Amino acid sequence: MNLGGGQVVNKQSVMPSSSGASWKSTAAGGSGGGGGGDGGVPDQFPAGLRVLVVDDDPTCLMILEKMLRNCNYEVTKCNRAEVALSFLRENKNGFDVVISDVHMPDMDGFKLLEHIGIEMDLPTILLDCRVRKAYFLMIEFTVMSADDSKSVVMKGVTHGACDYLIKPVRIEALRNIWQHVVRKRKHEWKDFEPSASADEQKPPEEPDYSSSANEGHNWKNTKRRKDEDDEGEDRDDSSSLKKPRVVWSVELHQQFVAAVNQLGIDKAVPKKILELMNVPGLTRENVASHLQKYRLYLRRLSGSQHPGGMNASFMGGPDAGYGSISSLNGLDLQALAASGQLGQLPPQSLATLQAAALGRSTNSKSPISAPVIDQRNIFSFENPKSRYTEVQSQHLTNSSSSKQMNLLPGIPTNMEPKQFVSLQHQSGQHSFGSINNQVLIQMGGQSQSQSHSHSHSHSQGQSNTNPHHGLRPPVLSSEMLTRGGVVDMATTVYNPVVSQASSLVDFSMNHKNDSSGSSYPLGGSLGIPNLASATPTPLQGDGNLDTKVPRRGIVSSYDIFNDINPSGIREWGLQDVGMTFDSAQHTMQGGSGPVLLQHNRSSEREMGGQNRNSTSGKAIFSPGVETGSHRNVGQQRNSYVAENSLRVKAEDGSSHNNTLYPEQYGDDLLAAILKQ
Amino acid sequence: MDQNHMKKQINSARNSLFQQGYLDEQFIQLEDLQDDANPNFVEEIVTLFYSDSTRLIRNIETALDNYPLDFCKLDDYMHQFKGSSSSIGAKKVKDECSQFQECCKARNTEGCIGIFRQVKHEHATLKRKLETYFQVSPSNSLENRHTLQRNTQLCAAD
């Protein structure tokens, strides 16, 4: 993967110039057409990219349309979110990427984002005209150094957007949106990994994948379809002997985790799990093998403090991407590695945040400690391609080895202990399986300075994989779903303009107060304050971690996001609290844009709530977060100080555990967190 | 000579709009979008903006008539208006909008009313200036603009 990643990165950088020729040529699978085989557009990435633009402002809409047309994209515009959704529904594979304004009268952008994430899982880019109101995604993770002298807490929440642009939008920002598509697809491709037969298949796949971005692209299509097909197949073949390979998608995994948690990890037997999951077509054998892997994964998490491998992975290229944390219910480990950024910063600055819901892990220890990524690291976008590749390889390696989530592979974690703060998600009811690794990066440092309208310092967030996989009523209540192995983070190639770091990291916070899994409230925004104050410096991970995360082995997030952005993470510029995932190769030129992570759903809430649990230092995040009474958080809009600070958009789902969609943006939560 | 003179004037009119802060580089982005396929793109966008913004202004005015002021709503409306204005590069208008939002945040009724008057003023002023500019400038295709720039240089060299 490394190679692949690197290659991809390279390719991406040259992609635009090749005008899609390379895409076509490398289309190994010959996927029918770019973007879903609609046949309409051949694999001429990026030309012909099918974009759906949603904005209620007719002026902006027209401007965007023209800009996108000038980028040779195929544009469909609409001014209402409902209309957009119906377009998307009618034509499932008809679009490659969606760009939506945040502020719309009938439905706000975040909600739309969620819908899209759940239903279609398309990369979505949000637009807003002010940073202040932008819902940054913050990724918070705690890095525990050996002596605990530094810890940075970064909170990240992913909401699902893969990027966040600030109006007025410049055409340069739009030119690179295709990268989000690629990234996302690559990430989805990685979803194969956790599946039962993934291991066997991986090797052959990897080379293909790595061969070109296009391949990845194809893969994505293939994979996606496969995902869909597999599920269907499974259903059909449940009775037959033939068992098509089951793809353990994020959603499925979350269900699995939920079932396991319900039964208790020790008592979880495949048969019962199967019953609880109630997924047609899933066989006991599938569950059994997945359970076995899961157990290994848990063991790894709890057992090894910091597996060298993990570290290595984190260390990944300099651009350690920002890994999203995937939280497994119960034992979710999520590691966020600010890969790209990290690379730049001294090793120790890199911290991988892993949110692991160790609640139910066999060791009744407190929550996983997640490495905290030095904020500084996060934001320094550098994106050495190597990072990216490394990340990729890491990711793959990791995944293959076990269910280990690749915590941000690219993140060089110098932290000795490599503690990962795992966000514990325990929510019996929610099975968050994954965190959306979508980090939204705020573009255009509007926050930074009005003048730099164009220097989009974007942290590259990775695009997200659809965080909403886990959105299932019982489970998702605002949990952050991380796509298993979200690679997006890592693969975000950003063009300077577009910040990719939109990795949404959804921390699924388990409501369960599992003692062990104290969720980390996003409060611990230690770094945040720093960030906020800092000007485009990467987040400084001063150890303000309030909570010390117990060192519990290294938490490897399940397929973490790969937010690691090997290629040049965008610098966030302070403001970005967010993790820069996968900085695109093009480093950001301007100040780094804040990374937006939208935390969607009540995960924030939970995070806040989790604070409660965080007593024994489990909480990863500083208690500050918790205060975010979610509601309050949501209410305060401007509590965030630094414009560029990342805000976590906390969906206020606190009251509704099962709220799928956040009700409010948790600006405040984020702010609160940051204040921590 | 007349041609050049005319062009020079157009160009200086355009420059002054920038220099005086009425327009910012977003406007240039719009100009860059203009091409042979859409030779009047900028004008079209500006026209669209002005017709749409009338509606937004009316919303704000209505909201400003209801006491006590609903600052959230005002802020919301202004947010939209500001987004729109910034997308065409209306710098002064946008700045006034920001100030208005500050007043909303501070819950300053008088401030809001006062600033809004300024917003409208800037909005109207820019409209006049742009109308004049569009009238005199030729179809602002890329080619023409380049010519304009070249002429400016030539004239400057005189």
> Chain A contacts of B35, Cβ < 8 Å?
70
Q: Which one of A61, A66, A169, A497 makes the best mutation probe of the B interface by having the most chain B beta carbons within 10 Å?
A: A66
Chain A residues 399-458 with CB within 8 Å of chain B: 453-454
Closest CA in chain A for residue B81: A57
| A482 vs B73, higher pLDDT | B73
Q: Pick A149 or B23 by higher pLDDT.
A: B23
B52-62: pLDDT as tens digits: 999 999 999 99
Which helix or strand (DSSP H or E) is residue A353 part of? strand A352-353
Calculate what percentage of chain A has a pLDDT beyond 90: 3
Query: Model confidence at B49, in pLDDT bands (50, 70, 90)?
Result: very high
Q: How many CA atoms lie within 13 A of A94 on its CB side?
A: 12
Put simply, the answer to whether B79 touches A167 (Cβ < 8 Å) is no
The residue among A86 and A495 whose pLDDT is bigger is A86
Q: What per-residue confidence (pLDDT) applies to A673?
A: 55
> What band does A564 get if pLDDT is binned at 50, 70 and 90?
very low
Q: CA-CA-CA-CA torsion for A310, A346, A131, A98, nearest 10 degrees?
A: -40
Question: Two tokens at A76?
Answer: 């469909």
> pLDDT at residue B1 above 90?
no
Compute the distance between CA of residue B78 and CA of residue B92 in angstroms, rounded to an integer. Answer: 14
The first and second tokens of residue A106, run together, are 């009938």
Closest CA to A622 of A513, A520, A509: A520
In whole angstroms, give the CA distance from residue A333 to residue A482.
Answer: 10
pLDDT bin (cut points 50, 70, 90) of residue A48 is confident
Query: Is residue A59 scored above 70 in pLDDT?
Result: yes
Euclidean distance between CA atoms A382 and A319, whole angstroms:
5
* CB nearest B87 (choices: A56, A63, A638): A63
> Which residue of chain B is at minimal alpha-carbon distance from A168?
B87
Question: With a CB-CB cutoff of 8 Å, which residues 47-76 of chain A face chain B?
Answer: 56-60, 62-63, 66-67, 70
Q: What is the pTM of this model?
A: 0.43
Rounded (5°) CA angle A397-A194-A577: 70
Instruction: Please give the pLDDT value at position B47.
Output: 92
**For B45, which of A63, A453, A638 is closest by C-beta distance?**
A63
Mean pLDDT along residues A397-426: 42
CB contact under 8 Å between A453 and B26, yes or no, is yes
Tell me whether A134 touches chain B (CB under 8 Å): no
A340, A341, A345, A350: CA torsion to nearest 10: -80
Rg (chain A; Cα; Å): 20
Name the residue with tokens 């008809």.
A94
Which residue of B33, B91, B94 to mutate against A (max A Cβ within 10 Å)?
B33
Alpha-carbon distance of A476 to A587, in angstroms, equals: 34
**Which residues of chain B does A59 touch, with a Cβ-Cβ cutoff of 8 Å?**
45, 48-49, 52-53, 84, 87-88
Which of B26, B80, B88 lies nearest to residue A103, judging by beta carbons? Answer: B80
Contact A70 B33 (CB under 8 A): yes
Please answer yes or no on whether A59 and B49 come within 8 Å at the CB atom: yes
Q: Measure the CA–CA gap between A22 and A43, rounded to whole angstroms.
A: 9
| Residues of chain A neighbouring B83 (CB-CB closer than 8 A) | 57, 60, 101, 103, 129-130, 167-168
A80 touches chain B (CB under 8 A): no
Measured between CA atoms, the residue of chain B closest to residue A129 is: B83
Please tell me the distance in Å from A465's CA to the nearest CA on chain B.
28
Confidence band for A204, pLDDT divided at 50, 70 and 90: very low
Alpha carbon of A91: minimum distance to chain B alpha carbons (Å) = 29
Residue A127 pLDDT > 50? yes
Mean pLDDT across the stretch A422-445?
39
The answer, for A638 touching chain B at a CB cutoff of 8 Å, is yes
Task: Give the pLDDT of residue B153.
Answer: 60
SS3 A438: strand
pLDDT in tens, A369-379: 444 444 444 44
Long-range CB pairs of A286-289, under 8 A, 24+ apart, other chains included: A286/A196, A286/A234, A286/A243, A286/A246, A287/A256, A289/A196
A570 near B CB under 8 A? no
The per-residue pLDDT for B46 is 92
Range name among A44-58, A196-210, A294-308 with the lowest pLDDT average:
A196-210
* pLDDT at residue B154 in the model: 57
| pLDDT band at residue A405 under the 50/70/90 scheme | very low
Does residue A635 have a pLDDT over 90? no
A176 burial class (0-12, 13-18, 19+ CB within 10 angstroms)?
Answer: buried
**Interchain pair A57, B83: CB under 8 A:** yes
- Across the range A324-351, mean pLDDT stands at 40
Instruction: Give the best residue of B18, B52, B87 to mutate against chain A (max A CB count within 10 A).
Output: B87
CA of B87, closest CA in chain A: separation in Å? 5
Best residue of A64, A65, A129 to probe chain B, by most B CBs closer than 10 Å:
A129
The better pLDDT of the pair B156, A160 is held by A160
- A169 contacts in chain B (CB < 8 Å): 87
Split at pLDDT 50, 70, 90, the class of A122 is confident
Examine the pLDDT at B81 and tell me if it is beyond 70. yes
Q: What's the pLDDT band for A63 if we cut at 50, 70, 90?
A: very high
Q: List CB contacts (< 8 A) between A171 and chain B.
A: 29, 32-33
Q: Is the pLDDT of residue A499 over 60?
A: no
Q: How far is A67 from chain B (nearest CA, A)?
A: 7
Pairwise CB contact (< 8 Å): A171 & B29 = yes
What ipTM did this prediction achieve?
0.86
3-state SS assignment for residue A29? coil
Of A674, A505, A503, give the one whose Cα is nearest residue A580: A503
Q: B2 exposed, middle or buried (CB, 10 Å; 0-12, 13-18, 19+)?
A: exposed
Mutate to test the interface with B, among A63, A75, A108, A169 (most CBs of B within 10 A): A63
Please list every residue in chain B whose beta carbon sits closer than 8 Å to the beta carbon of residue A58: 48, 52
B105 contacts on A by Cβ (under 8 Å) = 638
pLDDT (mean) for A657-674? 49
In this complex, the residue of B29, B45, B83 whose CB is nearest that of residue A129 is: B83
Inform me whether the pLDDT recorded for A422 exceeds 80: no
Q: What is the pLDDT of residues A286-301, one digit of tens each?
A: 888 888 888 888 887 7
CA distances from A498 to A49, A162, A493, A639, A676 (A): 16, 10, 9, 26, 29
User: Which among A597, A598, A625 has a CA at the least distance from the CA of A609?
Assistant: A625
In order of their start, the domains of chain A are 50-189 (3.40.50.2300), 250-298 (1.10.10.60)
Per-chain mean pLDDT for chain A: 52
> Token match 């040049």: residue?
A568
HSE-CB for A82 with a 13 A CA cutoff: 3
Does A103 contact chain B (CB < 8 Å)?
yes
B35 to chain A: closest CA residue: A70
Distance between CA atoms of residues B140 and B103, nearest Å: 38
> Which of B24, B28, B29, B73 to substitute to test the interface with A, most A CBs within 10 Å?
B29
**Ramachandran sector of residue A499 (left: φ over 0; alpha: ψ -120 to 50; beta: rest):** beta
Q: Closest-CA residue in chain B for A69?
A: B33
